[in-house]
Structure 1
Amino acid sequence: MSNLIQHVKTGGRFEEVYRYSRLIRIGDWIISSGTAGRNYATREISADVAGQVHQSMKNLSSALAAFGATVRDIVHIRVFITSQNDLVEALETLATYFEGTDPVHAIHCGPLPGGEEVKIELEITCYKPENTEIRREWLLAQPN
């Protein structure tokens, strides 16, 4: 196993000011920082939560490409959202990215950094082995 940690920077000014990376890769695992639905090139942000989800996933997809990974490699997603009123729309929008992969979710509701216009931030963990094809299996657990 390699002891290499790889970092992806996306050129955002806060990455330099606050000294963080958009993604890191440690072996087969890729972990992201929280990623808002802001277009980092133009600084624009959609007024609706669905638009912010799409932009956040676009931001993450671009960063994942540096490791040859895609959203299909996401196994865990943390959703940070400012309002419960936007939760259903956000989750329905996210679901369009996860057909056939069904990652686990954690959802947190409360204020977010980046201004009042930021409604959602996503943080992901991916499993991306270098030379192995991923197989998936779904099991059904019976409730107690």
Structure 2
Amino acid sequence: MTTPQIIKLNSGSPMETRDSYSRLVVVDNWIFGSLTAGRNYQTRELSSDPAEQARQCIANIKGALEAVGSSLADVVRANIIIPSREDIPVVLPVVAEAFRGIDPANVLTCAPLSLADFKVEIDITAYRGAGAAAQQRLKVTL
């Protein structure tokens, strides 16, 4: 039995160190992301605009995936948490644009987040190489 390669990526967020977690954990080609907020990790700035936070979430996720040799195209599942239902119409179009053509399985939940200023958090599961794999798209009418 081969021992899997495991990578634990830290993004520099103080919360990762304080709360003892990794931004991404990679086990062979599987990539498991933590909830990622819309804070700019370099400047520590957090916009009050939900759409801008969603764009920053995607940028943070994209950067983390690229650091482990992956990309948004490899995302197979996205879990989006938006605390306020009123923000759904401005956040979802940003997320949809980022994943257009990738079309991962998707979960949307309205629930409180760890900080009151967070308007959206996203976590992902990816499989390195999934974006380059042949795809079969099926439609079913239920």
Cα distance in 1, alignment partners of residues 109 and 36 from structure 2? 14
1:126 aligns with 2:118: no
- The aligned residue for residue 18 of structure 1 is 19
Structure 2 counterparts to residues 1-144 of structure 1, below 5 A:
2-114=3-115, 116-129=116-129, 133-143=132-142
| Residue 2 of structure 1, CA deviation | 4.3
CA RMSD of aligned residues (A): 1.7
| Residue 31 of structure 1, CA deviation | 0.6
Cα distance in 2, alignment partners of residues 20 and 117 from structure 1? 21
What's the TM-score once normalised by structure 1's chain length? 0.91
The gaps in structure 2 that reach 5 residues or longer are none
Cα distance in 2, alignment partners of residues 47 and 133 from structure 1? 36
**How high is the sequence identity, in percent, across the aligned residues?**
35
User: What amino acid is the match of 1:67?
Assistant: V
DSSP 3-state at the match of 1:15: helix
DSSP 3-state at the match of 1:92: helix
The gaps in structure 1 that reach 5 residues or longer are none
What's the TM-score once normalised by structure 2's chain length? 0.92
What per-residue deviation string (whole Å, max 9, x for no partner) do you get for residues 72-109 of structure 1?
11110000111111112211111111121111111111
User: What amino acid is the match of 2:133?
Assistant: I
More helix by share: 2
Runs of 4+ in 1 over 4 A off after TM superposition: none
**Residue correspondences, number:** 141
DSSP 3-state at the match of 1:97: helix
